[in-house]
Amino acid sequence: MPLYSYKVRDKKGELVSGEAESTSARDLSESLFSGGMIPISVREAKKGGINIENIGDIFQRVKTEEIMIFTRQFFTLFKAGISMDTILAAVSKQISSRAMQNALEKTRKDVAEGASLSQAFARHPKVFDEMYVSMLAAGEEGGILEQVLQELVVLLEKEDEIKRNVKSATLYPKIVVFVLVGAVTVLMTFVVPKFSKFYAHYGADLPIPTQILIGTSNFVRNYWYVVILIIAAIVYMYKRYYKTQAGKLKIDRLRFKVPVFGPLTTKIANARFGHILSALYKSGLPMPRSLEVVANVIDNAAFALEVRKIKDRIQKGSLLSDAMAGGVFFSPVMIETTAVGERTGSLDEMLNAVATHYDLEIGHTIKNLTTLLEPILLIGIFAMVTILALSIFLPIWNMSSIVSGK
């Protein structure tokens, strides 16, 4: 029998990896699921080669927008009573992502062979994350798959909106920085050398700022490959450090403290926490399991660690609001609204309400950021242009002394 590698979540919500022999990935997935585990991925163990069939998927990323569109179409057809096989066949033809098309084709085959929808999706973790699979599994188990699909549509729309807002907030600074770097590169490569030759012709002493500028220009022109290597080394070391557990935790924690952007990061984290936890809890997952899924899908290690601490406090008997109050990333509004939800028996509704409140706050914050960043960036550009201009033209303003010293 072939050997398969698998990743599952056990009854405690812990990630477990292993290998086992089985007649097929579907049989192993069903065996793990019947044992109380939730399969995350089940794949045939690698034999040292590259799977040519899936090599295209490696270089393709499935966007949140594509998952959202797929889920919306899937929900509409499922609500109309169309068979699962027909839905998967029809929707896969509307998807532009090749990676997602492959996943849906394999899902259709697995479902036809007897796997549940959540089990089939769990075999494609790069397309359908743990949150998605866990909600589907809860919907299938509770007989409320249609309701869960509707919740997923709303949740993914919120996720897509948050991502678009973040892109909107960072677009203007990125454009300004790109233009500024391009302008400085042109100055250093073409303009400064011409002035350098002009000044060298007179052989006079140049001011220190001009000497520094010319020296920098010469270094960039003559040793450009060193500059590229230094930049590449810095980027490589940053990415390598960020991949470590300690590095990711430290950098992600700093994101909450960065001036201007820190408050936005906090609001985005709170909004995602509220929306995802509300959807998971409403789908029927127990609170500890819901929190574990939230921690696994949140892309900030510091916030995910805080969520796991909340889960531990709940398992020891604390209420969710009390457990959140012991953290550092949750606002009084989030904590108090959660407490009201616990007292009134409407926790999922209150979590979604406070998350929606943060959605509005995120929109206002981004508008304020744009207003705030414009003068800051303009002042920065003005300062840099002033320094460069003074460095270039100081000798010209002192031309009389240069000429007399010839």
One-letter amino acid identity for 72? R
Helix H or strand E segment including 137: helix 130-142
The segment with the largest mean pLDDT, out of 33-42, 242-251, 290-299, 324-333, is: 242-251
Contact 319, 335 (CB under 8 A): no
Q: Residues 329-344: what's their mean pLDDT?
A: 92
What was the pLDDT predicted at 401? 54
Which long-range contacts does 398-403 make (Cβ < 8 Å, 24+ apart)?
A: 398/207, 401/204, 402/199, 402/202, 402/204, 403/202
The segment with the largest mean pLDDT, out of 165-174, 253-262, 367-376, is: 253-262
One-letter amino acid identity for 26? R
What was the pLDDT predicted at 15? 65
Q: Is the pTM of this model over 0.75?
A: no
pLDDT confidence of 339, banded at 50, 70, 90?
very high
pLDDT reading at 50 higher than 50: no
d(CA 237, CA 218): 27
Residue 240, token pair as written in the block: 């390598």
Q: Residues 212-239: what's their mean pLDDT?
A: 92
pLDDT confidence of 7, banded at 50, 70, 90?
confident
Q: Residues 230-247: what's their mean pLDDT?
A: 93
pLDDT in tens, 90-134: 988 888 888 888 989 999 998 888 888 888 898 888 888 888 888
Architecture of domain 155-406: Up-down Bundle (1.20)
Contact 114, 27 (CB under 8 A): no
Helix H or strand E segment including 16: strand 15-21
Strand partners, 86: none
Backbone angles phi, psi at 351, to 5 degrees: -65, -45
pLDDT in tens, 261-276: 888 889 989 998 998 8
What was the pLDDT predicted at 248? 92
What was the pLDDT predicted at 233? 97
Among 54-63, 97-106, 228-237, 363-372, whose mean pLDDT is lowest?
54-63
What was the pLDDT predicted at 336? 93
d(CA 142, CA 132): 16
pLDDT confidence of 48, banded at 50, 70, 90?
very low
Q: Residues 213-236: what's their mean pLDDT?
A: 91
pLDDT reading at 235 higher than 90: yes
For the chain, count helices (H), then strands (E).
Answer: 19, 3
Contact 8, 28 (CB under 8 A): no
What was the pLDDT predicted at 327? 80
Residue 277, token pair as written in the block: 């936890």
Contact 14, 98 (CB under 8 A): no
Contact 97, 60 (CB under 8 A): yes
HSE-up of 213 (CA within 13 Å, CB side)? 30
pLDDT in tens, 137-157: 888 888 888 888 988 888 888
Higher pLDDT, 393 or 359: 359
Q: How many CB atoms lie within 10 A of CB 73?
A: 16
Q: What's the gap between Cα 180 and its chain centre?
A: 27
What was the pLDDT predicted at 49? 46
d(CA 221, CA 215): 10
Mean pLDDT of the chain: 83
What was the pLDDT predicted at 164? 84
pLDDT confidence of 11, banded at 50, 70, 90?
low
φ/ψ bin of 284: left (φ > 0), alpha (ψ from -120 to 50), beta (otherwise)? left
Concatenating the DSSP letter of every residue in 66-98 gives HHHHHHHHHHHHHHTT--HHHHHHHHHTT---H
pLDDT confidence of 52, banded at 50, 70, 90?
very low
pLDDT reading at 167 higher than 90: no
Q: What's the gap between Cα 287 and its chain centre?
A: 24
Residue 178, token pair as written in the block: 């790109």
Distance spanning both ends of the chain, measured CA to CA = 89
pLDDT reading at 1 higher than 70: no
Contact 300, 269 (CB under 8 A): yes
